[in-house]
Chains A and B, each alone.
Chain A
């Protein structure tokens, strides 16, 4: 935790086809279950974790690293579960 209620960690995209439309939809669906504000970053670019098209705009291919940042009461759980999704082959 970098500050009160803020969690940020990096994860590798494991899915062979990268973070394409369907897994991005799964990511957003999961992100919406948390009350924390969730953003996803690649390099210096950050987008909302609740927008499928914004996540797709990061063009995160297989093996790329994404940062997930959550701010709020369930931040730790959000980053943990969303990170697991990125690191699962099934999210492809």
Chain B
């Protein structure tokens, strides 16, 4: 994957997302996670995110996944949008991570962000709409 991926979340959500991902795709590489603590100062949060952006960027930019639009992880991540080659997708889920971990084609950062947002939305399901009716 040419585009770097960094997960930024409340508490240890990102770390646990990665733990779950590794159960499904054990050889996953290159996806980083940052957990933000509510007691942390804003500049400390920005410093840690910036360090991960720099490590993750192999010149094609960095996709930042956050847990929820409007939350601090998203808000802090959004503050990098104008000054760095990053795109931010909010409201991440496990299907998005599984897809990112197994994606083979090289998309640009902008294409990847749109693709993975659509993919995450498509993979939210209501059981009764996908399972066959009993007896069918």
Cβ of B27 within 8 Å of any chain A Cβ, yes or no, is: yes
By a CB distance below 8 angstroms, the chain A residues around B25 are 25, 29, 52
- Determine the interface band of chain B, counting residues with CB < 8 A from chain A: 10 to 19
- Contact call B130/A59, Cβ cutoff below 8 A: yes
A30 to chain B, nearest CB (A): 12
Cβ of A51 within 8 Å of any chain B Cβ, yes or no, is: yes
**Chain A interface residue count, Cβ-Cβ cutoff 8 angstroms:** 12
Choose one: A21, A50, A53; the contact of B123 (CB below 8 Å): A53
B113-136 contacts to A (CB < 8 Å)? 123, 130-131
Assuming the contacts A52-B98, A53-B95, A53-B123, asked whether A25 and B131 have C-beta atoms less than 8 A apart, the reply is no
By a CB distance below 8 angstroms, the chain B residues around A53 are 95, 98-99, 123
Cβ of B51 within 8 Å of any chain A Cβ, yes or no, is: no
Assuming the contacts A52-B24, A53-B95, A53-B123, asked whether A28 and B130 have C-beta atoms less than 8 A apart, the reply is no
- In the bound complex, CA of A59 to CA of B27 (Å): 24
